[in-house]
Structure 1
């Protein structure tokens, strides 16, 4: 079985502690034999291939792929809540960041500048930004240049280094990265936040049986109350877990379709 939590820059020791606890409970609950469950969380190089595997037991993806590229291939397990403002109940947003010494104060003033995005299937790095600039769009490209950086961390570094002027970062990623790379984030400031959407979904294979899915959801909920995991969860920034409905995420697809004509850059 495949298991991963690949979307956020989690502390290795904390995430391993969490997975060891969950693995033991999965075996006890009959959701997998010891030889079937990995000893370590996977670090997939190709996320989409990993998420589409029929033996995927648990992973985390982005809301946009969930309702587009992965639709009909995975099941929604639920969502973690995070110790970040606005994320306490399972939603999240993007932080639109610029250099600290940039004097412009509004998004409209960044028309014609260079934008960094992590990748085109990202809700937080691409689609949320496109939705946010929609009221400012006049049918022409808003930015002069779009650079796909490959990650939120790389986008932050490009803005800090002056290689781009603005970027939208998943707010949870930004909070965790700020602890790891304070030098980069000390050169950035928050311009504004995007509207909230449901947080990054936890998923399992379409082949996971209903009883297995329910048991997995129950264990994830139980883990939030486990005293021995309190330190690991705090380090990972995780506050809670809740089940969500796939319908909750349809707003992401609808926004993307509504603003499909908005061009970030030529």
Structure 2
């Protein structure tokens, strides 16, 4: 079996502590084939579809499209950061500080940067936000792709791009890790809330193990002995969700296309 938590830039020491405790909790519930360490996947789409996947974290858009029927959704963490409420999250619209007094409409013909096209937080959230402002199918002059939220932030700070939608949890954690970059940035708004990044397991995982995974995740997300680690990771709870809770991600993308915004 393999496990990973690949989506957020958690502090490494605290991630190791959290995983050690979660692993022990899973073993106590009767799931014994739990790896000692978390996997570090290079190809996320391939990783998410492995039959031996016990636990990973994905993104809402692929779960509602490419991965539909191929994985089981366990739920989502709650995060104590601006832009999150319970298991819902949003993206922070980040710009350079000198542009922070502009509304979103003021970025017409600006250069946007997205992490990648399958990202709910970096691509689809931004498209949904600007679709009502588009004229003749367009709003930005150009849209660049960075490959990662961290790189998107760097590109705005350096002037290579003007605006990005960055997952609010990533933005909070990255601000702590890259203060020189984020000291040059400001948030002008948050996008509409969506179900948080889904924790998933293989379609082959038995129903009993799915229940055990959900219980262990809920337990570890509120353990008093993990207080310091949970605070560092900003985890404040867990909600059990299923794949139907993520249909809204695909539906929003379809609505954006119907609104006439051209593909980027």
Give the TM-score normalised by structure 1: 0.95
* Among 184, 187, 192, the residue aligned to 1:190: 187
Single out whichever of 75-84 and 216-225 deviates more from structure 2: 216-225
Specify which of 82, 105, 110 is matched with residue 108 of structure 1. 105
SS of the aligned residue for 2:200 comes to strand
Give secondary structure in 2 for the equivalent of 1:101. helix
Where structure 1 has 5 or more consecutive residues not aligned to the other structure, the ranges are none
Report if the CA contact (8 A) 2:83-2:91 is conserved: no
Residues 10-159 of structure 1 correspond to what in structure 2 (within 5 A)?
10-33=10-33, 37-102=34-99, 105-159=102-156
Who is 2:198 aligned against? 201
The whole-number CA distance in structure 2 between the counterparts of 1:108 and 1:44 is 38
Q: Distance in 2 between matches of 1:133 and 1:88?
A: 23
1:75, 1:205 within 8 Å by CA — same for their partners in 2?
yes
Q: Is the 1:88–1:239 Cα contact (8 Å) retained in structure 2?
A: no
Q: Provide the rounded CA distance (Å) in 2 between the counterparts of 1:104 and 1:165.
A: 13
What residue in structure 2 maps to residue 262 of structure 1?
261
- 4+ runs of 1 displaced by more than 3 Å? none
Q: CA deviation at 1:85?
A: 2.5
In 2: Cα distance, 1:63 partner to 1:197 partner: 8
C-alpha distance in 2 between matches for 1:22 and 1:196: 28
**After superposition, what is the alpha-carbon deviation per residue over 1:164-220, rounded to whole angstroms, capped at 9, x for unaligned?**
011110000000000001110110111111110111010000000000000111111
Q: Equivalents in 2 of 1:255, 1:139: separation in Å?
A: 20
Deviates more, 1:8-17 or 1:254-263: 254-263
> What is the Cα deviation at residue 224 of structure 1?
2.5
Alignment of 1:161-200 (within 5 A): 161-200=158-197
Distance in 2 (alpha carbons) for counterparts of 1:237 and 1:264: 34
1:104 Cα offset (Å): 5.5
Contact kept, 8 Å, 1:7 with 1:61, in 2: the verdict is: yes
Tell me the number of residue pairs that the alignment of Structure 1 and Structure 2 aligns: 262
In the TM superposition, 1:201-240 aligns within 5 A as 201-240=198-237
Listed one character per residue, the Cα deviations across residues 125-154 of structure 1 (whole Å, up to 9, x for unaligned) are: 000110111111122321111110011110
Task: Report the equivalent of 2:2.
Answer: 2
Q: In 2, distance between residues paired with 1:83 and 1:245? A: 22
Query: RMSD over aligned Cα, in angstroms?
Result: 1.3
Relative to the length of structure 2, the TM-score reads: 0.96
